[in-house]
Structure 1
């Protein structure tokens, strides 16, 4: 939603700063017939209003590339018509549509459309003999287009990562709910079955007037009930606890969704039980940094009874900058007498290691 508002504001600023000046200049061209001026200004205004329709295009899902392509092609053709009527001196009117095309379309489609625009403009300038004087303007258009291509790729990558993380989070919630339901079923099923049998015995003993034995059975029922209640509370209290084994599963799914080859352990039994929770936090933060900052293609996780290490082959920076959560991890490890060591590797990549003395 924020992206749509930003683009709408950017388009509005571009309209207000650029279009009125061009329209005023067109209105003052007394060397042109009135109908030509009216038609040109109308097309210019239609072209400008279409910029503000970009937020609608951003609502299209990633699969609707065809609709976005049609919109961008139509907007490009309209822009070239306007520039042809107004004059090549106003070729800057194509900046916004070229930037928008580079962002909202896949790279090869954006290159084809923006490349066609540059080819048309170069051809027209060559025909008019003005190409040498317009090289700076064309260079600006080319630079803007290439820069927006990079921005578009980054936006799509972040969007794909966000969607993957949302899906993983939903799957994790579902899996945890299933686990909780299974645990409660096992706990209550066993406890309630035993309590039911004990209650039946106590009833029969009371009916046969064996009160002392019946009282013993009732006391056992009371103890079983308290134990079952304690088991339920322990299960529910652990519902939001961080689990190292669950974090390994989540990390594997997150890395797979991001296209990163994951080399993770299949079990965490060799880690001390009292360290598994804090190591779960370490693994979550380290893998998040790999996904967001490292641009890695491979991630490796190794662990021992008192240590955990996460390595990647990314660009080796960004994960250790302030505000990424490593300070919080250091504080968590300090509570159990450990520390976090993070930094780039000599051969490339990045390492986060947590260890407890």
Structure 2
């Protein structure tokens, strides 16, 4: 990752002052690693180096030809090393490549095709404030080489060298910006995945509470009741309560399996009937005022969890002996209301109610409640929410 990317992301790496002063390149390498032969693909354009050799073959001595080949092979070796280097190691290689191009111009003007590779590295690897400086140095080297070394063919040397170098410098700069964009996009995708995993864990925790909170509370209460009946030798009643404990446990297990496997849970009206039955088992009179409503599965699950949480709170904290369930739809709004005649003066929102409020908000709904005339809880989904 480049140093400027680290700044964009606010990631403050601890580096020594001397390290900051000497590092003039980004932390990107031209290639990630030497994975295949195709990393050498751009070198195909370096074959223009041999054009002067081909056209002047008959006029060149064996020594000059050998020197030209040595210069080219040395340049290729340095290039191959540079594509996986950053920092001072890369800068040193580029200095050697530039020196090789200048020195090689004594034996061939084909070196004009090699300056562009150095310019590309400068555009791609150097930090923004050093890119232009590096390019100006390359242009100066080309001009000096044309004036003092390749004097007889200065025009043929100068024009290709400058055009190719400037073009590849810009291309390298654009390639670096594209790499930065891809890196930021990759980091963004990783962050989205991480946040998605966190949200999924929170959703699972909330679902487990919503699914099991009411069921386990009912099981605990009925088990305690069965124990009391058994202590009083009311075996028939104790057996009945024990059977209800078993039934509740099976229902809870079924709900957990449905949640894990992604099966749809009970319809809202069916869930309200089950909750009413459990309240009746506690000696609470229940009134059901249920209308047919149209809901998607997510909204239906949310309202089911709302009803379960309210019933759990009634069983745990209320002294009510009457409860009324109301399910109705008004145009695009669906209302679930649960009223009781308990005498609770204050309600403290725990994980259950806070979870339901969050779930309703995610579905575009709201939670309302008060204790002025008993307990009153209302969930609204739709435009009114």
Q: Give yes or no for contact 2:116–2:166 (8 Å, CA) kept in 1.
A: no
1:209 maps to 2:255: no
Cα drift, residue 79 of structure 1: 1.4
User: Cα RMSD (Å) of the superposition?
Assistant: 4.3
1:126 maps to 2:147: yes
Cα drift, residue 82 of structure 1: 1.1
CA distance 1:106–1:45, change in 2 (3 Å)? same
C-alpha distance in 1, partners of 2:235/2:298?
Answer: 50
C-alpha distance in 2, partners of 1:276/1:212?
Answer: 42
Residue in 1 aligned with 2:38? 9
C-alpha distance in 2, partners of 1:152/1:16?
Answer: 20
Q: Give yes or no for contact 1:104–1:152 (8 Å, CA) kept in 2.
A: yes
1:53 pairs with 51, 72, 81, which one? 81
C-alpha distance in 1, partners of 2:90/2:136?
Answer: 13
Cα drift, residue 136 of structure 1: 3.8
User: TM-score of the superposition, structure 1-length normalised?
Assistant: 0.52
What does 1:264-275 align with in structure 2 at a 5 Å threshold? Answer: 274=296
Unmatched tracts of structure 2, length 5 or more? 1-29, 264-293, 300-331, 333-385
Unmatched tracts of structure 1, length 5 or more? 58-67, 240-271, 278-304, 306-357
Q: Give yes or no for contact 2:117–2:165 (8 Å, CA) kept in 1.
A: no
User: TM-score of the superposition, structure 2-length normalised?
Assistant: 0.49
1:92 maps to 2:113: yes
Runs of 4+ in 1 over 4 A off after TM superposition: 1-8, 19-22, 28-34, 40-44
C-alpha distance in 1, partners of 2:298/2:83?
Answer: 46
How many residues align? The count is 234
C-alpha distance in 1, partners of 2:298/2:31?
Answer: 38
CA distance 1:130–1:146, change in 2 (3 Å)? same
Q: Give yes or no for contact 1:202–1:215 (8 Å, CA) kept in 2.
A: yes
Residue in 1 aligned with 2:285? none
1:70 maps to 2:79: no
C-alpha distance in 1, partners of 2:94/2:82?
Answer: 13
C-alpha distance in 2, partners of 1:158/1:111?
Answer: 24
C-alpha distance in 2, partners of 1:13/1:235?
Answer: 55
Cα drift, residue 32 of structure 1: 5.9
Cα drift, residue 43 of structure 1: 6.2
1:104 maps to 2:125: yes
Larger radius of gyration: 2
Cα drift, residue 165 of structure 1: 0.9
